Structure 1
Amino acid sequence: MPATTTDQRLLDSPGRADWLHTDPWRVMRIQAEFVEGFGTLAELGPAVSVFGSARSRPDDPDYELGVQVGHALVDAGYAVITGGGPGSMEAANKGANEAGGTSVGLGIELPFEQGLNEYVHIGINFRYFFIRKTMFVKYAEGFVVLPGGFGTLDELFEAMTLVQTRKVTRFPIVLMGKDYWEGLLAWLRGPVQARGTISEHDVDLLHLTDDVTEAVAIIQESAKARAEHAEKEAAAAGRPE
């Protein structure tokens, strides 16, 4: 395992002019990672990104939930994309694998994790978090978020921000586990909304459920609505003025 990560070296300020000689060359590595990600995933087809804790153990209910989610998404015709690590990520990849579907792992260089889990069919290891995050969104039709920690929360709130600012459109975000996520939603609807820092409808971007079938249905309904919207726009663009 490396003592430092590529992200860390990029973001650390050396306090001298070293960056002038090293950072411009990092652009080439960044470009190469984007090219690899785009090239590997371009023909993936319909997919859903699944997030969750790397610390979930195989005997945890959250792990079993991840397996069920992965299996159900494949049954519905989706590939499953995860961070490729252990815990709930491994569980979703395992479910996709057992269902005979496509299981994707987008790994990240970290000093305390080693490699992709054994259930990944298509795997990419990234050095930079921001490139990896782009791939999670670009090639997915929605997010399913299992209970998790800081990394999961980071991915969740980034997705919410992209939808709220309309950087992506009609992108469903499903939270699995009412007992885990209800407190967060209560906080958002309570003091956060009361301060006026989010609008009344922002929290409605999140769908909360314990039902795997319902989670998949939410993804499918959003995909259908997006397709219908695209057809209407295309028809409108083709009409004479």
Structure 2
Amino acid sequence: MRNAGPLTYRGESIPNTTTDQRLLDRRGPADWVHTDPWRVLRIQSEFVEGFGLLSELPSAVSVFGSARIRPGTRYYDLGVQVGAKLAEAGYATITGGGPGMMEAANKGAKEAGGLSVGLGIELPFEQSLNPYIDMGMTFRYFFVRKTMFVKYSQAFVVLPGGFGTLDELFEAATLVQTNKVTRFPVVLVGTEFWGGMEKWIRESLLENGLIKPHDMELVQMVDEPGEVVDIIKKSHLDIARELDAQERARTNGS
């Protein structure tokens, strides 16, 4: 079975390619006339459906991590604890909706009485939304799905993961670095897992002048789920104070 947005395929009806693949494939000189302009409507509809689903979410945190982590492992248990701590702090938990670390965070959130959200993606291999989700949607397009993660989250929490998790991590860091999003905490969980990457960033990127020293502060690294919540809450409190100060300055200036 494969989900493609609101569509479900089974057996011989499953397409040989994904929607993203068909969008990005090179076409003949005139093929785009018959395909690409019409895809805009499908892309638009996916944005509308995502905005409609998530527009009334309470404060939320997106949690990323590998789909390959199995239940009963220490990383899976860590994901459950992170989801639970976020729920206890009043945050909804948004994940990619799949198995592994995503399932773990959704499970922790749901069992702690929080709102558990899953934003799945059409993939060439079978992957359905995990059973711990209160609200869910399966997207055709990665870039639409990524927009939802950023638009409706107040922070990113990054658990151990592979290429997909790294993609989401560095995109988030880039958005903060370039001020496309403001004061957006990005928290890595697991110094043993992420420490080597942090060392490489410091020794290769920073020492060669490819990033600025303050860029090292864009991403914070912790081990304890409680520390994750502390960082997020402190960041949001700092933002609130800063906005309040700016408002007072405008009022006094007028």
Could you state the TM-score of these two structures normalised by the residue count of structure 2?
A: 0.92
Structure 2 residue identity aligned to 1:43: E
**Structure 1 unaligned regions, length at least 5:** none
1:163 corresponds to 2:176: yes
Residues in 2 aligned to 1:31 and 1:213: alpha-carbon distance in whole angstroms: 39
1:201 corresponds to 2:214: yes
* Structure 1 partner of 2:39: 26
1:58 corresponds to 2:71: yes
* Structure 2 partner of 1:118: 131
Comparing 190-199 with 70-79, which one deviates more in the overlay? Answer: 190-199
Say which SS state the counterpart of residue 201 (structure 1) adopts.
helix
1:83 corresponds to 2:96: yes
Residues in 2 aligned to 1:33 and 1:231: alpha-carbon distance in whole angstroms: 36
Residues in 2 aligned to 1:187 and 1:30: alpha-carbon distance in whole angstroms: 37
When the two structures are aligned, how many residues end up with a matched partner? 241
Say which SS state the counterpart of residue 144 (structure 1) adopts.
strand
Say which SS state the counterpart of residue 50 (structure 1) adopts.
strand
* Structure 1 partner of 2:240: 227
CA shift for structure 1 position 240? 4.6
CA-based RMSD = 1.1
Query: Which runs of structure 2 are paired with 1:6-155 in the superposition (5 Å)?
Result: 6-155=19-168
Say which SS state the counterpart of residue 95 (structure 1) adopts.
helix
Residues in 1 aligned to 2:16 and 2:38: alpha-carbon distance in whole angstroms: 21
Could you state the TM-score of these two structures normalised by the residue count of structure 1?
A: 0.97
Say which SS state the counterpart of residue 207 (structure 1) adopts.
strand
Say which SS state the counterpart of residue 71 (structure 2) adopts.
coil
**Structure 2 unaligned regions, length at least 5:** 3-14
Query: Which runs of structure 2 are paired with 1:176-187 in the superposition (5 Å)?
Result: 176-187=189-200
Residues in 1 aligned to 2:249 and 2:36: alpha-carbon distance in whole angstroms: 46
* Structure 1 partner of 2:6: none
Change in Cα spacing, 1:161 to 1:100, as seen in structure 2 (3 Å) is same
